[in-house]
Amino acid sequence: MMERITNQSLSEIFEENPAVAEIIAKRSIVAASARLAAKKARDLTRRKSYLESAALPGKLADCQERDPYKCEIFIVEGDSAGGSAKQGRDRAFQAILPLRGKILNVEKARLDRILRNKEILALLTALGCGVGEEFNIEKLRYRKIIIMTDADIDGAHIRTLLLTFFYRYLGQLVDAGCVYVAQPPLFRIQKGRRADYAYSEEEKERIVEELGDRGLTIQRYKGLGEMNPDQLWETTMDVDKRMLIRIDDNDHVESDKLFTKLMGEEVEPRRAFIQKHALEVVNLDI
């Protein structure tokens, strides 16, 4: 009885308000597409055991260790950096996942499109913990996820896109302290057989002053691919020497506002933010 009355009432409302009916119909289609895409992603990321590797992405260079608490994965941009990282890593516990180009900006995309993105699917499959309702941190294959991008504008953009994805869809990993950003050096200063690395302009100036400016060779790294495997290991991947920044979400409200402002559809808030902080930028590559 109630179902018949509800259907009759809705039919009358839709007939009198075709524009409203069209909006509801479109949203229903979008929601259905999103559900199908989410199911596909769950099927791709679900595995019998997080120790299995048969379904892992072909581009992933996995590690030998099977204890997730001892494993870490580097997410790097491009095959060039990926090649250096694969050669320079410690295969026992370090995995490398190269991503091609810039991943989708999840702040501007619907869920069904996000879960069709090849790079995002490769990342989800490599991590193994699922997403959304299927998320299970106990299936996470690496307890340390390290974003390692070039020290230039494109690298910063890729890093921000990845952090947006983690914040919006894998926030539990951020809360658990699993997400890190690598800090590759900006400069290599060599004098004779001595080589020093600088991670900022100030550090470079200090080293130059210490060594004297005669006979110096200064290399500005614009990409991880410019480093040979040994250099990448000793500066960015060696546990005893590297510097990592752990990503924390101490203020969820402010974090939400910031991601919406920087990565969302509205242009004016982003322009205002850039204008306000433009003079704070250092090491800008154009």
Instruction: Catalytic residue, from 90, 134, 154, 226: name it.
Output: 154
Helix, strand, coil share of the chain (percent; to 5): 55, 15, 35
> Which token pair is 137?
């941190």
Question: Are 115 and 135 within 8 A, CB to CB?
Answer: no
Question: Are 98 and 172 within 8 A, CB to CB?
Answer: no
Instruction: Catalytic residue, from 62, 72, 77, 119: name it.
Output: 77
Instruction: Catalytic residue, from 62, 72, 112, 150: name it.
Output: 150
Q: Specify whether 77 is catalytic.
A: yes
Collapse the DSSP code of 279 into the 3-class scheme (helix H, G, I; strand E, B; otherwise coil) and give the result: helix
Question: Are 81 and 231 within 8 A, CB to CB?
Answer: no
Which segments within the chain are labelled E, that is strand? 72-77, 94-99, 144-148, 179-182, 187-191, 194-198, 217-220, 244-246
Question: Are 127 and 138 within 8 A, CB to CB?
Answer: no
Q: Specify whether 175 is catalytic.
A: no
Q: Specify whether 268 is catalytic.
A: no
Q: Specify whether 154 is catalytic.
A: yes
Q: How far apart are CA 210 and CA 250, in angstroms?
A: 39
Collapse the DSSP code of 77 into the 3-class scheme (helix H, G, I; strand E, B; otherwise coil) and give the result: strand
103 Rama sector, left if φ>0, alpha if ψ -120 to 50, beta otherwise: beta
Q: What are the CA-CA distances from residue 33 to residues 21, 44, 77, 103, 111 (Å)?
A: 18, 17, 30, 21, 9
Give Cα 86 distance to the centre of its chain. Answer: 18
Q: How far apart are CA 128 and CA 124, in angstroms?
A: 6
Q: Just list the catalytic residues.
A: 77, 150, 152, 154
